[in-house]
Amino acid sequence: MSYLDDILKSRRDTRHFTADEVPEEVIQKALQAGHWAPSVGLTDATKYYIIKSPEVKSAVKNLFSDYNTKAAGLTDNPEQKEQYQSLKLEAIEEAPIGLIIAYDRSVLNQFTIGTVGSNEAVKFSSVCAAQNIWLSLTEQGYGMGWVSILNYYQFKKIIHLPENMEPLGYFCIGKPATNYDNQPMLQQLNWKQKSEAPDCTEIKTIVKEEVPNFQFNSQVTNKNKTAFRQLLQDKIDSKTKPVGALGILEDLAFQLGNVFETLNPKIKNPNIVVFAADHGIANHGVSAYPQDVTRQMVHNFLEGGAAINVFCNQNNIALSIVDSGVNYDFPTNAKLIPAKIAKGTQSFLHVPAMSETELELCFEKGKSIVDDIAKTGSNCIGFGEMGIGNTSTAAVLMSLLTGFPIEECVGKGTGVEDEKLLQKQNILQKAIENYSGQALLAEQLAYFGGFEIMQMAGGMLTAYDHNMLILVDGFICSVAFLIASKMNPNINENAVFCHVSAENAHQKLLNYLGAKPILNLDLRLGEGTGCAIAFPILKSAEAFLNEMATFENAGVSRK
């Protein structure tokens, strides 16, 4: 066995350190080893930050403690929880040196060899650097522990990391106080046994997946409901009120009856579906929040802590969360609908966001999701979204599909300031100018689209086919509806636009669609929250149509 084999076999994630100082030359040699690691596209995106301050260590330790407590609550097994709480999973304050290994995602602002196909490739380079540092320290008689149980957003704030710098975690460096009996610490403490040999399987065949070819310019004939609609309008007008006195409620009642094709419409098993995905354009600083917030918010949805959870609970609406393409691997037992196309789209500043095959797969996934919801007996479906950078994607799509200048389609999204808003606008204008493809719907959607937006569009078209009421949330969802309406204009009959958002472009888009939103509350949260908040008004429309007396049966004289 070679010396390297010995190091690899004995290497441990160190959690117990002596008080010995770490010589400067040891650190420099380890950092040089990290610098020698492979760097995708020779970007040199990996950056290092040394921590010696007790104050900084204490702040990081507090962040760890908060999330460690949260982690312990993820198991319902009392024995496992007790065992987890007994583990020492960090040595932030005990280790002489703290090291932050981070990667600069702003390198993706320029075309980078090796990143097309995976926006995470730059991160992978930094992981290689971490591995090299770990090996170098071990060879020199020192150790390193990787602390990842942290709120990364708060972590970046307390150490003043620039918005474009993404940390892999906090690393503890020092002289190991034990060799853990020459085995992984978690194995020594009977948490789990590491397998003796690598798991390797030879792949000998390929699987060809047939993706249905969606018609992006289909012509759909309208259903003839003239006689029924007159009966429905007569019923509304016969209620004990002046004609039109209930305003938009009367329009909604007519729409309910028309969509469900009955004079006594009843909303059944309402469901709001939140589609989540990441966007390559987010790497160019078009959002006030880092991309990882998409993943964090999906966890928040799953844990019941988001606004959409609260409003769905309030109104007894089922909530479904879809992983359309989040840049993260969720546990397979998460209560998610798995529809991941890829870990985020590519940056359309340089290349197509997705292939046309991926675009068609988005529509197929959206269709399948709504088909399954329709099978539950649901006849009312709301659409929501989550994805850092998706207002940029939506703005470009709106500009291309309506002909409006991009500056009229760009908004603050998650809250960018005026200077950054202008930067966002310039980036999107440049992306449009870089586009050399044809003005065909499918090509434009593939080049500039987002996975969650395309899946929503496919889902909306399918909801129409099932005679479902389609609740449309804010700006991004309205752009998805714009796409769906280009493919089937009749879908407008089924759409309820729940609110007009604080994004200026949303009002302009609603005017373009001829839509009359129910609410104007200055919302700009997304998640489908507008759908949930507007839902009681739909129930009021249903109630008055079904329960309110007519002039005849109440014995009230007409005008």
Token digits of residue 429: 């204008």
Angle in degrees, 0-180, between the axes of helices 121-139 and 3-10, rounded to the nearest 10: 110
- What is the C-alpha separation between 216 and 213, in angstroms, rounded? 9
Give the sheet arrangement for strand 337-338, strand by strand.
337-338, 318-325, 271-277, 380-386, 469-472, 495-497
User: Shortest CA distance to 284 belongs to which of 420, 460, 190, 81?
Assistant: 420
Whole-angstrom CA distances from 244 to 61, 140, 254, 260 are 63, 83, 12, 22
Token digits of residue 545: 């149509």
Fill in the amino acid letter for 181. D
Fill in the amino acid letter for 145. G
What 3-state class would DSSP assign to 122? helix
**DSSP label of 173:** E
Torsion angles phi and psi, residue 204, rounded to 5: -115, -15
Torsion angles phi and psi, residue 38, rounded to 5: -55, 140
Give the sheet arrangement for strand 97-104, strand by strand.
46-51, 97-104, 165-174, 143-147
Cα angle for residues 87, 91, 94 (degrees, 5° grid): 135
Q: Do residues 379 and 268 touch, judged by C-beta distance below 8 A?
A: yes
Which entry of 21, 527, 542, 552 is annotated as an active-site residue? 527
Supply the DSSP string of 57-107, one letter for each residue: HHHHHHHHHHHHHHHHTT---HHHHHHHHHS----TTTSSEEEEEEEEGGG
User: Shortest CA distance to 354 belongs to which of 341, 373, 368?
Assistant: 341
Q: Among this protein's residues, is 527 annotated catalytic?
A: yes
Nearest-Å Rg of the Cα atoms of the chain is 28
Give me the active site residues, please: 527
